[in-house]
Structure 1
Amino acid sequence: MNVKFDPNNVVIKLCMSGMRLEDGGNTEDAIMMFHKAWQESTDDYERFIAAYHLARQQKSITDKLKWMETSLQCALNINDENVKSAYTTLYLNIAKCYEELCDSDNAKRNYELSNSYKGAPSDEGPFYHGTKADLQVGDLLTAGGNSNYKPGLKMNHIYFSANINGAGLAAALANGDGRERVYIIEPTGEFENDPNVTDKKFPGNLTRSYRSQEPLRIIGEETEWAKLTTTERREWRENLAKNKGGIIN
């Protein structure tokens, strides 16, 4: 099963709505929204995400454990690179539940499983970078550019994604007046999960977003991806303007 994170997926949109209600202090409606996401889930990928959010909202540790283990089982059923980054988080949350239930053997086993999935990403791509800059094959993209999301901030890393639509979104939101471009790139050195998205809204790094301090080499250009409508572009810009969270640079 090859799955890709899609912000327009019905279940993901329901979970995002639930998180907005949660941020506004409206926990009861948030839980209802996460239950709706669970009920409307049609495959293991959607069930894995909905169960994770339901788990977070449980007051009882046994209920939290039940939903977190359900989320993990769905993730394991998928066995896909897109969700492997979530294993560390899921096993860690399960270990904490067992610890609170004074089940030290299961806690220890799950902490060890969580640690076994830590480390550098094993994603093999292909990788993409979205921008409005007019570049050529062979050019190098380097860190030190201005942030598209926070004025005046110089970025210590160069960012990229294995999700072409994620790169397309970055191109749409990039500074400049040029046309939106999505380049196929290859990292020239080590890279890590982007901490600005990893475990922030969803478990792990479902958007397969990465960053590196080493240059990215352009090896081609992509022309087909899901383009934003004018309304969607405006909504993204408004949401970014409202976002008060700091950027991990």
Structure 2
Amino acid sequence: MDKNKPLEQFYHGTKTDLKLGDLIEPGHPSNYGKRKHAKYVYLTGTLDAAIWGAELAQGDAPERIYLVDPSGPIEDDPNLTNKKFPGNPTKSYRTAYFLRVVGEIKDWQAHSSEQLEAMKSHLKKLEQEGIEAIED
């Protein structure tokens, strides 16, 4: 590893209440599509993408944004990369290994209610068309 290169910060958006040191592991029901047990956990290098993850997560609990460290290799998220956003500008990734919670971002700006409703409507349309949101 290049000692001069700064380590990239990764985020995970959710509605799950986690503590420092907790692990986010594959095998839990996905927040999207048919809610299959996910083979991967998802992380991002942008706060905005993590905010979307938190806002769109299942449940009524408060949205949370965590700082996470992956425990193994990560790869581009095929659900977004080069399909919707060529080149991965959202810095969306997935891993088959656990993420460790190393912090929480408490001061962040939610998307507008109009943006959120438009995204939820788009996801509902994909579901009605039989398009699975998560490619495992």
Q: TM-score, normalised on structure 2?
A: 0.87
**Separation in 2, partners of 1:172, 1:151:** 18
Q: Distance in 2 between matches of 1:205 and 1:154?
A: 25
- Counterpart contact for 1:195–1:248, Cα < 8 Å: yes
> 1:139-197: CA deviations, max 9, x gaps?
00001121212133111000010001110110000011110100000001111110111
Instruction: Report the equivalent of 1:163.
Output: 46
Secondary structure class of the residue paired with 1:185: strand
Amino acid at match of 2:13: G
Whose RCO is larger (CA < 8 A, sep 6+)?
A: 2
Counterpart AA for 1:143: P
**What CA distance in whole angstroms lies between the structure 1 residues aligned with 2:42 and 2:95?**
7
2:130 is the counterpart of 1:236:
no
Number of aligned pairs?
A: 128
Task: State the SS of the aligned residue for 1:224.
Answer: coil
CA distance in 2, matches of 1:206, 1:153: 27
Whichever structure has more strand as a proportion of its residues is: 2
Query: What residue is the counterpart of 2:37 in the other structure?
Result: 154
Which residue number in structure 1 is paired with residue 60 of structure 2?
177
Say whether residues 1:195 and 2:78 are aligned partners.
yes
Please name the residue that 2:69 is paired with. 186
Per-residue deviation, residues 61-92 of structure 1 (Å, max 9, x unmatched): xxxxxxxxxxxxxxxxxxxxxxxxxxxxxxxx
Identity across the alignment (%): 39
Structure 1: state its 5+ residue gaps.
Answer: 1-122
In structure 2, give the amino acid aligned to 1:169.
W
Take 1:201 and 1:158, find their aligned partners in 2: how far apart are those partners? Answer: 19
Deviation at 1:248, TM superposition (A): 1.1
The structure having more radius of gyration, on CA atoms, is 1
SS state of the match for residue 43, structure 2?
strand
How far did 1:226 drift? 3.0
Matched, 1:213 2:79: no
Q: Secondary structure at the match of 1:167?
A: helix
2:12 equivalent to 1:125 = no
Which residues in structure 2 correspond to 1:54-73 (within 5 Å)?
none
Task: Return the alpha-carbon distance in structure 1 between the equivalents of residues 25 and 56 of structure 2.
Answer: 19
Structure 1 consecutive aligned stretches of length 4 or more whose deviation exceeds 3 Å: none
Cα separation, 1, equivalents of 2:99 and 2:118:
30
What's the Cα RMSD here? 1.7
**TM-score, normalisation: structure 1:** 0.49
Q: What is the letter of the counterpart of residue 26 of structure 2? A: A
How far does residue 124 in structure 1 lie from its aligned partner after superposition? 3.8
Cα distance in structure 2, aligned partners of 1:202 and 1:230: 23
Show the counterpart of 1:222: 105
